Structure 1
Amino acid sequence: MTATIERIVVVVPARDEAGTLSRCLESVQDAVDRAGLPATVVLVLDSCTDSSAEIAATFPEVRVTTTDFANVGRSRAWGVTHARVPAEADPDAVWLATTDADSVVPVGWLTEHLRAAEEGAHAFVGAVVPVLHELDPERRRVWMRTHPPGATVGHVHGANLGLRLSAYTAIGGFTFLETGEDVDIVGRLRERQVRIAASDAHPVVTSSRLTGRVHDGYAQYLAGLAPTAS
């Protein structure tokens, strides 16, 4: 038996994402409101040199912490630590969800995570899609051809990932990787045969930029869809 989720923690790392941060936080708050549970949203401003801090200050309901890690894995872990989950809370009843500051979550984002938890999942891997109209025509054609319905199910993205706090703690949390920290944590969950749900319902929409903050990230993947188009 698994506990019913009673509390939500959302962690959002950001590194110079002033252009998208406001819309991201607005969408997260909408998803929190729809979920209808006590929630803590933690924004980790990591090595930001833009106006992200000023934008964050306009969201008083968001817990903001500033670091200089320049490391997304460490930022996600830092965000979990600074969620300050009450000591009396059952870790099995706390749902930890992560997204990214260059992304917009749908209003049903967290309810989809909670649906999986209600069905006994200890972790959830959700879908991510780029802003298609911002891709050049060739990459858009490649994307549409290679991503029929169901193609994104099971692909791991930190922008749409969730797990019970008990599972997170049991495997030692996020490792301090500059990229791939999301794939790494799901890999360790699978090694322990943790029950993981996957769905492409309510995908998170993320940036279509072709030059990212880290090597081998989602931007590089998009760029590789049609290398000669750049």
Structure 2
Amino acid sequence: MDSLVVVVPARNEETRLPRCLAALADAVNAVEEEFGTDAPVITVAVVLDCCTDGSAGIVAGWPLVTALTSTAGSVGSARHTGVEHLLAGTDPGHTWVATTDADSAVPRRWLAVQLALAEAGTELVLGTVLPDAELPMGARARWQGQHALVDGHPHVHGANLGVRADRYLEAGGFSPVDSDEDVALVAALRALGVHECRTALIPVLTSGRLTGRAPGGFGGYLTGLVAAGS
């Protein structure tokens, strides 16, 4: 891979963006340390989607992060906008696309592991997520009981996804929808017969809040878990 692009959609995430961006900076440093002169050029973009809080100011404090704006009000459109912008001028066959969320924190080797898998021929990487302490303990226990966080897991999360750019473009990219844009993309990629890896090596810590930004998204699912235990 000559290039690696990271896209982060954000809507009013001023309180969580610092954690997200600090974790991404650590992940970028890990690539540079592990790959040395063979490290790809890495570009990170936060897509500020209909933000009315101080999210833009937070991103401005990270000079190596590109801030993009969207008025679509859709996480699928935000991801699509970010990827389209960052892929301009790259060679899609030698570019890796990674996506996470503004309320999430990636592990240090998040990018390094994806790059190693890409170099070995993997075209799609699907990782796992872990809800943080915002989710009540009982609901967290129920969540853990329903999720197999092992290699070969069945989960799809936009907060922990990577794909080779040429295959992403073949599949038509992220759809401009309010939720499940990640599921739709993976379905299209699988229809193309991509070589995928479902790994538990790089779990992403994500918000356990019950009021999410995307209708029908992860927050809604967690709300259901809480209700099931009441």
Normalising by the residue count of structure 1, what TM-score does the alignment of the two structures yield?
0.91
| C-alpha contact 2:77 2:174 (8 A) present in aligned 1 | yes
How far off is 1:228 after superposition? 4.8
What does the per-residue CA deviation read over 1:171-218, in whole Å, with 9 as the maximum and x for residues that have no partner? 221111110000000000001111111101120100000111122110
Secondary structure at the aligned position of 1:45 is classed as strand
- Give the match for residue 37 of structure 2: none
Match of 2:56 in 1: 53
Which residue does the alignment assign to 1:193?
Answer: 193
Question: Is the CA contact (8 Å cut-off) linking 1:126 and 1:154 kept in structure 2?
Answer: no
- 2:21 aligned with 1:20, yes or no? no
Distance 2:154 2:121 in 1: 17
Q: Distance in 2 between matches of 1:117 and 1:154?
A: 20
Distance 1:62 1:165 in 2: 20
- Aligned AA for 2:117? A
| Separation of aligned partners in 1, 2:16 and 2:152 | 23
- Whichever residue aligns with residue 139 of structure 1, its letter is A
| Unpaired runs of at least 5, structure 1 | none
Tell me the C-alpha RMSD between the 2 structures: 1.6
Deviates further, 108-117 or 12-21? 108-117
Aligned to 1:63: 66
The answer to whether the Cα contact below 8 Å between 2:129 and 2:159 also exists between their aligned partners in 1 is yes
Say whether residues 1:119 and 2:126 are aligned partners: no
Is 2:141 the partner of 1:134? no
Give, in angstroms, the shift of residue 137 of structure 1.
2.7
Report the Cα offset of residue 229 of structure 1: 4.7
* Shift of residue 148, structure 1, vs aligned partner: 4.9
Partner of 1:9 in structure 2? Answer: 5
Partner residue in 2 for 1:144: 144
Number of the residue aligned with 1:202:
202
Could you tell me whether the CA contact under 8 Å between 2:152 and 2:198 is conserved in 1?
A: no
Give the C-alpha shift of residue 149 in structure 1.
4.4
Gaps of 5+ in 2: 33-39
How many correspondences in the alignment?
223
State, as a whole percentage, how many aligned pairs show the same letter: 43
Q: Describe how 1:39-188 pairs up with structure 2 within 5 A.
A: 39-86=42-89, 89-131=90-132, 133-150=133-150, 153-188=153-188
